Amino acid sequence: MLAIVAPGQGAQTPGFLAPWLELPTFAARLDWLGTVAGVDLTHYGTGADAETIRDTAVAQPLLVASGMLAALELFGHPGDAYDKVGVVAGHSVGEITAAAGVGVISAETAMVFVRERGRLMAEASAVRPTSMTAVIGGDRDEILAAITAAGLTPANNNGSGQIVAAGTVEQLATFAENPPARTRLFPLSVAGAFHTKHMKPAVARLDQLAGGITTHAPRAKLLSNADGQVVHDGQDYLARLVNQVANPVRWDLCMQAMADLGVTGMLELPPAGTLTGIAKRNLKGVELFSLNTPDQLDDARAFVDAHA
């Protein structure tokens, strides 16, 4: 069984879309989606520096557009994918990519929604300096206890070997002074404490906007970050997208669901590497493919056919 996954914020790197713009269809579609979102995605994906694309209002539309358009190059038409893909999931903002990929929302709706999501989360982040830190290694229970004791939130539970703590910069600094045993801490390239109470101001407005969005039932199995469950109703998934902004990402449960479903191959859409890296530690025996450049497309199609 084939899983297609879409990464979340922090995966972006300067210039990662430059090779893709050599494909005329990708370049034209990126121009169109950038116009829909009111964001110069071509510039941000090719010429902007790391600090610029770290901005939440930039990174989120850029990531969603990248994943959607790479999937179109991979399959040619969404309908080509539905008979081959067993399950789809996205990490954090990657859930919007996933939703569009299985037809819950249109690509244009996805771009408007992610533009507003990014803008509102950036505004919420500006209220007070907050951030996120990946905690690598150590004992899971000890890490969770230490995160809670520091007043932080385990915003991303990424399975064995990685939990992301989020909160104010002061709380994270204190946490770093006395980290849990046998762990390494890595500050993430994000501009706020996403998936925590600090994002609640964004949820109310997104909920209002969701009332005007038309959805459809997923055309393939679609997992939710909230609990790793397969969601069958488009409106249910949209409500989960809204609420997930201020609630932890349970990617560990998404991977467990993939294992339970019998996934044999996982392909990560660009900018790829984060989720396949996590899967190496958590989905033993599952073949992995990180799609990052268009010269990999033929190999990616072969990978898809092997696990379809």
Instruction: Supply the residues annotated as catalytic.
Output: 92, 195
3-class secondary structure per residue, 88-131: EEECCCHHHHHHHHCCCCCHHHHHHHHHHHHHHHHHHHHHCCEE
Cα–chain-centroid distance for residue 53? 15
Residues shown for the chain: 308
